[in-house]
């Protein structure tokens, strides 16, 4: 399993939002490149960047993303507002390793097919976000009457990875519902990157034990609930 620190960008700064609410900011840091370098110094082998401005349709942080990619020597995946093939290709051209597609990848299968043809499925991570075992899209504001597994099986030939977020626990620092994740991992034909509620080394041990490919950690790192070096040590045991 790989541990992937999260860097959420808004207005050129690193932020953390509670339950994805842009009006509920619980952290703000001024230098994204320094944050990225600190994670690398602590042993991170991969970084997860979300462009919140892009996600909210309020501009983008492409220049900062480019600078981060140039400043670190590990692969970077990027999500947030990637709704066109041109933008996806632009990010790949900037040196981004994988792009994360959200709502449009769920609702527009032709787009996903075209994107897979243009950049290759191994460069694509599909964000599958679930609330009460139903898919939610558009910043968790709309529900689709499909389960995560149904969607994953539909896209298995078009993407390389699934980023599964359990919205029920996201950002609440109350831990992971391991049974839900275990079922997803067991039934998914694609590698699962997990996000949501990771707040202790025990969460990381449990996720590692059920065969999760990667785990994204955000708030717990910024709040000091998890030390990245300790987390990396846990998965090496």
Q: What residues are labeled active site? A: 8, 129
Interstrand relation of 142-144 and 134-137 (parallel, antiparallel or unpaired): antiparallel
Return the closest-CA partner of residue 82 out of 67, 63, 104.
104
Distance separating alpha carbons of residues 234 and 151, to the nearest angstrom: 32
Assess contact for 200 and 192: CB atoms under 8 A: no
Neighbours of 99 (CB within 10 A): 22
Give the number of C-alpha atoms closer than 13 A to the C-alpha of residue 213, restricted to the C-beta side: 16
Return the closest-CA partner of residue 102 out of 136, 148, 146.
136
**Residue 139 zone, left/alpha/beta (φ > 0; ψ -120 to 50; rest):** left
Six-digit token string for 58: 């309020």
């Amino acid at each position: 399993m790989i541990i992937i620190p999260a860097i959420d960008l808004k207005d050129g700064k690193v932020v953390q939002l509670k339950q994805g609410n842009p009006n509920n900011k619980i952290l703000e840091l001024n230098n994204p490149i320094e944050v990225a370098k600190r994670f690398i110094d602590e042993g991170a082998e991969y970084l997860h960047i979300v462009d919140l401005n892009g996600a909210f349709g309020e501009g983008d942080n492409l220049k900062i993303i480019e600078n981060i990619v140039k400043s670190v020597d590990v692969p970077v995946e990027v999500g947030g507002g990637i709704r066109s093939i041109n933008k996806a290709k632009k990010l790949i051209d900037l040196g981004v390793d994988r792009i994360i597609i959200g709502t449009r990848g769920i609702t527009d299968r032709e787009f996903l097919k075209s994107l897979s043809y243009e950049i290759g499925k191994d460069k694509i991570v599909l964000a599958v976000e679930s609330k009460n075992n139903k898919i939610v899209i558009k910043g968790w504001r709309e529900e689709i009457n499909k389960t995560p597994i149904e969607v994953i099986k539909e896209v298995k030939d078009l993407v390389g990875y699934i980023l599964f977020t359990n919205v029920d626990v996201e950002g609440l620092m109350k831990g992971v519902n391991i049974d839900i994740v275990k079922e997803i991992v067991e039934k998914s034909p694609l590698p699962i990157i997990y996000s949501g509620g990771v707040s202790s080394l025990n969460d990381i041990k449990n996720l590692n034990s059920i065969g999760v490919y990667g785990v994204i950690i955000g708030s717990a790192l910024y709040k000091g609930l998890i030390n990245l070096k300790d987390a990396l040590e846990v998965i090496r045991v």
